[in-house]
Amino acid sequence: MARAASRRRVVTAGAALGAWVVAASGLAPHALADDAVSPNQWYLAAMQAPEMWKVSTGKGIKVAVVDTGVNPDTPSLKGQVLTQDVPQSAAYGATKDYQGHGTTMAELIAGTGKGGGLKGLAPDAKIIPLRISLGSLKDPAEKKLTQSSAAGIRAAADSDAKIVNLSYSGGSEPAEADAVKYALSKGKLLFAGTGNEGATNDFYRDYPAAYPGVVGVSAADEKGTVTHFSQSGDYVDLASPGLNVPVWCDTSFQKYCDSRGTSQASAIASASAALIWSAHPSWTADQVLRTMIDTAGRSWDKNTPSKYLGYGLIRPRLVLEKADINPGPADVDPLAKENGGSSAAPAAPAVPSSSPPAKGEAVAKGEGTGGTKDGGSTPWIVGGVLAGLVLIGGGVFAVFRTRRRGA
């Protein structure tokens, strides 16, 4: 049963994906220059972003950020926000961020890092800003003028964006579900955070992440372990960095605050897709996603995805370093089984949403594999001549949650 719009909440804080100790041969880990990135963006070094940027920086890819609006005037976003590409129906307030959340997501995806700002994982991608009405928008007049989440997704579908980032969560709404179907029919690749209430209420599915066709992204820490507050279920498809990822503190845009959340995880996953699509512009959304799934780090059988980390931890570098990688068929959904369809290739059985995780499951370092809070060791950078390994360990963190009450 759909929760009321007043239950819609932000996925801003709370989640994780951690310290990735990489021991590689052939292509060694690359240290970041002091002036290359904010010192708090640990995941860029962990994912070896400078090495990826030698192959792809996301150039030519547009990402729609459906959120609280995007401020195009932060030092990191100057020249990165395509206001002219916003559909006229969604133009109101697109560049007036009423919380700072949407601007943060845009910077995590495509920020240049200038002026001490955040460096996006895909720094040459461009952002199409789309503002929707969420709980932190309090002004009645602004609420009336600002579009709904369903309208925002439809506007993204009508734009030139290839990727749509949806870093918010709440209940299922028929209009929003229809908008997602519309976006998918337009060939868009949609990412959304799975929610941050795993420590207190992990018994329901969060939307839009749980809609068929949307890639649900959980968050893991620096050890590659999902946090206790990252929500789980059969709608978790991939995991991405989400702990200790800086965000704008407020709408003064004067400083960043340390934060955590599947919002950040979703944005970093969207940026990863932008890197891949830029390097392979002829691919479809299905092919981009399939390569992300195939190269994801996991210690469990691919045909039995984890309800915490899905098919595993994103590793876009493994796609980029292999120019002749096989992306599979252009028009076959790699998540067909999860999405209620059929696939040309074997797919993993879904974990019923009625089977929530037990709250005492093993989460300590080295405990559990696949089915619980995924532990053990998981290959992060393995592929071709590369032999990399990251230990996936534990750590339980208190939930940090913010609510956005819808109009």
CA distance 178 to 143: 22
CA distance 313 to 294: 11
Residue 223 near residue 395 (C-beta atoms within 8 A): yes
Kindly list the distances between the CA atom of residue 310 and the CA atoms of 183, 219, 338, 404, in Å, as whole numbers in the listed order: 23, 11, 11, 26
Q: Is 252 exposed, middle or buried (0-12, 13-18, 19+ CB in 10 A)?
A: exposed
CA distance 273 to 81: 18
Whether 333 is catalytic is: no
CA distance 345 to 255: 48
How much is the pLDDT for 67? 98
Question: What's the number of CA atoms in the CB half-sphere (13 Å) around residue 202?
Answer: 25
Query: How many other CB atoms sit within 10 Å of the CB of residue 379?
Result: 19
Among candidate residues 56, 67, 148, 218, the one labeled active-site is 67
Please name every residue paired with 218 in a beta bridge, in sequence order, or none if there are none.
239
**pLDDT digit string (tens) for the chain, length 407 residues:** 333 333 344 433 333 233 333 323 222 333 334 344 454 899 999 999 999 999 999 999 999 999 999 999 999 999 999 999 999 999 999 999 999 999 999 999 999 999 999 999 999 999 999 999 998 889 999 999 999 999 999 999 999 999 999 999 989 999 999 999 999 999 999 999 999 888 776 667 899 999 999 999 999 888 888 877 899 999 999 999 999 899 999 999 999 998 989 999 999 999 999 999 999 999 999 999 999 999 999 999 999 999 999 999 999 999 999 989 999 999 999 999 888 764 433 333 232 222 222 222 222 222 222 333 333 223 323 222 222 222 233 221 112 222 232 22
Whether 221 is catalytic is: no
- Locate the domains of the chain by residue range: 5-403
Query: Residue 69: which region, alpha, beta or left (left: phi > 0; alpha: psi -120 to 50)?
Result: left
Residue 102 near residue 131 (C-beta atoms within 8 A): yes
How much is the pLDDT for 276? 98
Among candidate residues 169, 263, 272, 278, the one labeled active-site is 263
How much is the pLDDT for 128? 98
CA distance 166 to 153: 9
Whether 228 is catalytic is: no
How much is the pLDDT for 29? 32
How much is the pLDDT for 126? 98
CA distance 311 to 298: 7
Classify domain 5-403 by CATH architecture.
Answer: 3-Layer(aba) Sandwich (3.40)
| Bridging pattern class, strands 390-391 and 256-257 | unpaired
CA distance 213 to 339: 6
Q: Which two tokens stand for residue 396?
A: 């339980």
Kindly list the distances between the CA atom of residue 57 and the CA atoms of 205, 289, 297, 316, in Å, as whole numbers in the listed order: 34, 18, 22, 12
Q: Is 389 exposed, middle or buried (0-12, 13-18, 19+ CB in 10 A)?
A: middle
How much is the pLDDT for 229? 80
Among candidate residues 56, 101, 169, 240, the one labeled active-site is 101
Residue 82 near residue 106 (C-beta atoms within 8 A): no
Instruction: Say which residues have a Cβ less than 8 Å from residue 51's Cβ, sequence separation at least 6.
Output: 27, 30, 317, 321
CA distance 243 to 25: 28
